[in-house]
Structure 1
Amino acid sequence: MRGRRLGAELRRLREAVGMTAEEAGQAIQASEAKISRIENGRVAVRQVDVSGLLDLYEVQDADLRDAVLALAKESRRQGWWRGFSDIVPRWLEVYIGLEADASSINTYQCALVEGLLQTPDYAAAVIRSILPETPDEVVARRVALRMSRQERLRSDRPPRLWVVLDEAVVRRPIGGKEILGAQLRHLLDSMARPNITIQVLPFAVGGHAALGTSFTHLGFPDANDPEVVYVEALTGSLYLEKADEIRQYREKLDHLRALALDPAASAEMIAILLRE
């Protein structure tokens, strides 16, 4: 997020002096593509390069310069998840960083319980199902990472988490009935938290706007931080940031929430499945 904020500010300053990305790149001996990546928050940038860009953009305001340089320093600070860099692919590391700064997390899951709500045993069973040859020690590390991500839900200022689960999710006995039962109990316990809303989308609704596609919408506390939609695949992910794309996915979420059982009815369904 800090990299995205820095990039947005540098883009604003460049455009204010009517300079192209190519011209800016030439001034710091970088390509136009690198300037684009910096402005999109895709790569870290050295303070000396930021200082050079501020000179190029004729930024004289000392407070503004200090603020931008401080943001550049912060953007290079490693997040807690870098301790798991041996098991986290770069495409997932980006998501964890965005998730850590999000003020709202809204997701539809068609196959699995949302990772932020998984129990350790369920998470391990998921990992072993998807990656059956993974050594036990790596599975344990991946589970530890998932549990670390969940700690923010219990923090003093937790994000607002709203989850829509397809009925298949709460019926599929991943890891066996006992592990699923413990997972369902955890979902019921999670529903009691004021910052968490869980709805179940029943089979009875038939077709809907997100058939077969899980996705997550992230919102951020700073109005200058654009929303992001995250779509994950087996070997990579897609990050959507264009306003029209965000609008379409928000409409899908609204559609799914309207079709799904309300939280009370969802809890009742989960409780019935648990008894069964």
Structure 2
Amino acid sequence: MVEARSGGAPTVLRVVLGKRLQDLREKAGLSFEQAAAALDVTHATVRRMEKAEVGLKIPYVEKLLATYGIADATEIEGFVSLAREANRPGWWHRFREVLPDWFSAYVSLESEANLIRGYQPAYVPGLLQTEEYARAVLRAGMPHACNDDIDRSVALRLERQSLLTRENAPTLWVVMDETVLRRPIGDDPRVMRDQIGRLVEATALPNVRLQIIPFAAGPHPAMYGPFHIFRFPIPELPDIAYAESLVGAQYFDQRNDVSQFLEALDRMCAQAAPAHATEDILGGFRKEI
């Protein structure tokens, strides 16, 4: 399981480099204890570096590479350069006052994925929300937050959306429950009408696929809550599943765990209305508001 601990959520690159260090250690036939002895630290430090739970100290990285038998100066320089880049905060660091560590990891994964799949039972995914809809949802979820924090959270959410129209944009494939469209959000019906209009626009994007599960489809495998699955164009990085709660989130990267999320999502896609019908379905809901 990938963890986001206090003290800085891992960037995707840090996760990748941690896995590379693990591979190098195992190929060298060294235990955690043996690697730690070279650094004069506890074995827990090496474990945490490999799991991306701590930053990559450059002297530690250089010493480990030498211990693992890496002698090529160009290879060492390249790895160290990537380690320095991995330690730099992501663009979302500007919003750190309103962004908990457990969600910083999510934004990092989202930014690097080439495929984002998910299920949303209660609200429109953040990447597709209008500003007014986002403000209403965030206010409901953070009832004690001051207006400045809500404003910053909305700004973060809107900035995240730019990834859908960037060069080499990821594919976003989301299944939404009919509840999402029937629950009124905001004080004015216009908020929901505009939000549904935004979803209609999104269906025209070549990299966005939306499906809606109607009430008539009955029960499905993920009625317990929302989740997302990230896939990356990086060989070392496995698919990662994300499940959120009121107080935090869990990130799963073990094949058996992620397979269960994938199977549930595939079953829901089969139960949902086909993507080519989504625009007409949205238009029907918009007329009802």
User: Normalising by the residue count of structure 2, what TM-score does the alignment of the two structures yield?
Assistant: 0.93
In terms of mean alpha carbon deviation, does 29-38 or 136-145 score higher?
A: 29-38
Deviations 1:29-72 (A, max 9, x none): 32222211211222211111100111211211223212211221
Question: Partner residue of 1:22?
Answer: 33
Q: Among all aligned residue pairs of Structure 1 and Structure 2, give the percentage whose two residues are the same amino acid.
A: 36
Q: What is the CA-CA distance between 1:252 and the residue it aligns to?
A: 1.0
Is structure 2 residue 88 aligned with structure 1 residue 94? no
Q: What is the CA-CA distance between 1:221 and the residue it aligns to?
A: 0.8
Q: Which secondary structure state, in structure 1, belongs to the residue aligned with residue 243 of structure 2? A: strand
Structure 1's consecutive aligned runs of 4 or more residues displaced over 3 angstroms after TM superposition are none
2:92 maps to amino acid: W
1:97 maps to amino acid: S
Q: Which secondary structure state, in structure 2, belongs to the residue aligned with residue 204 of structure 1? A: helix
Q: What is the CA-CA distance between 1:126 and the residue it aligns to?
A: 0.5
Is structure 2 residue 248 aligned with structure 1 residue 228? no
Q: 1:117 aligns with which of 115, 128, 147?
A: 128
Question: Partner residue of 1:4?
Answer: 15
In terms of mean alpha carbon deviation, does 161-170 or 63-72 score higher?
A: 63-72
Q: What is the CA–CA distance in structure 2 between the aligned matches of 1:100 and 1:29, rounded to whole Å?
A: 36
Q: 2:45 aligns with which of 34, 46, 64?
A: 34
Q: What is the CA-CA distance between 1:170 and the residue it aligns to?
A: 1.0
Q: What is the CA-CA distance between 1:181 and the residue it aligns to?
A: 1.1
Q: What is the CA–CA distance in structure 1 between the aligned matches of 2:117 and 2:152, rounded to whole Å?
A: 26
Q: What is the CA–CA distance in structure 2 between the aligned matches of 1:109 and 1:212, rounded to whole Å?
A: 11
Is structure 2 residue 77 aligned with structure 1 residue 66? yes
Q: Which secondary structure state, in structure 1, belongs to the residue aligned with residue 251 of structure 2? A: strand
Q: What is the CA-CA distance between 1:266 and the residue it aligns to?
A: 2.2
Is structure 2 residue 195 aligned with structure 1 residue 180? no
Q: 2:143 aligns with which of 132, 138, 144?
A: 132
Q: What is the CA–CA distance in structure 2 between the aligned matches of 1:6 and 1:87, rounded to whole Å?
A: 28
Residues 20 and 236 in structure 2, CA contact (< 8 A), matched pair in contact too: no
2:203 maps to amino acid: M
Question: Partner residue of 2:5?
Answer: none
Residues 110 and 212 in structure 1, CA contact (< 8 A), matched pair in contact too: no
Q: 2:178 aligns with which of 147, 162, 167?
A: 167
Q: Which secondary structure state, in structure 1, belongs to the residue aligned with residue 99 of structure 2? A: coil
Is structure 2 residue 86 aligned with structure 1 residue 75? yes
1:229 maps to amino acid: A
Q: 1:189 aligns with which of 173, 179, 201?
A: 201
Is structure 2 residue 212 aligned with structure 1 residue 200? yes
Q: What is the CA–CA distance in structure 1 between the aligned matches of 2:45 and 2:255, rounded to whole Å?
A: 23
Q: What is the CA-CA distance between 1:152 and the residue it aligns to?
A: 0.8
2:261 maps to amino acid: Y
Is structure 2 residue 272 aligned with structure 1 residue 260? yes
Aligned CA-pair RMSD: 1.1
Q: Which secondary structure state, in structure 1, belongs to the residue aligned with residue 219 of structure 2? A: coil
Question: Partner residue of 2:283?
Answer: 271
Is structure 2 residue 157 aligned with structure 1 residue 153? no
Q: Which secondary structure state, in structure 2, belongs to the residue aligned with residue 226 of structure 1? A: coil
Residues 50 and 69 in structure 1, CA contact (< 8 A), matched pair in contact too: yes
- Which fold has the larger relative contact order, with Cα–Cα distance below 8 Å and residues 6 or more apart in sequence? 2
2:54 maps to amino acid: V
Residues 104 and 220 in structure 1, CA contact (< 8 A), matched pair in contact too: yes
Question: Partner residue of 1:209?
Answer: 221
Q: What is the CA–CA distance in structure 1 between the aligned matches of 2:41 and 2:117, rounded to whole Å?
A: 38
Q: What is the CA–CA distance in structure 2 between the aligned matches of 1:209 and 1:138, rounded to whole Å?
A: 35
Q: What is the CA–CA distance in structure 1 between the aligned matches of 2:239 and 2:42, rounded to whole Å?
A: 27
Paired positions, count: 276
Residues 138 and 150 in structure 2, CA contact (< 8 A), matched pair in contact too: yes
Question: Partner residue of 1:248?
Answer: 260
Q: 1:49 aligns with which of 55, 60, 65?
A: 60
Q: What is the CA–CA distance in structure 2 between the aligned matches of 1:244 and 1:78, rounded to whole Å?
A: 31
2:169 maps to amino acid: P
